[in-house]
Amino acid sequence: MTYKITIKGRLDGLNDYTKANRTNQYKGAKAKAENERICMAYIPRHLKGKKINFPVHISFRWYEKNRRRDPDNIAFAKKFILDSLVTSGVFPDDGQKYISGFDDKFYIDPKNPRIEIYIEEEEVG
């Protein structure tokens, strides 16, 4: 079974988060909390009442409005997404016992920047 979550817009990248942490620890914590709040707004819409069988493989599709941010900078935001899946109770933890791996693909969509997350249950046998 595959589950899909779509988060509209974009999340902070590694450079944004690093800058916030260098300003002061409170600003860094606030940035993390804000990014997780955004994720938490979308998770229940897509996964409410779903029982996921673990482990899973996660595919991230990053749709940016332009090519200004580097892929590694963009993909850092998976930290916020995974932590939000744990906080919301969808995942018991985000360790290797529950996540077998993930992949990232990057696209440009100036009119509809978003993040599509595909959670695919692994066949255990």
Q: Return the domain boundaries, the chain.
A: 2-121
What architecture does CATH give domain 2-121? 2-Layer Sandwich (3.30)
Q: Are strands 99-108 and 56-64 parallel, antiparallel or unpaired?
A: parallel
Among candidate residues 17, 93, 15, 102, the one with its CA nearest the CA of residue 61: 102
Q: At residue 58, what are phi and psi to the nearest 5 degrees?
A: -115, 130
pLDDT tens, position by position, 92-113: 999 999 999 999 999 999 999 9
Residue 34 has pLDDT above 90, yes or no: yes
Its pTM surpasses 0.75: yes
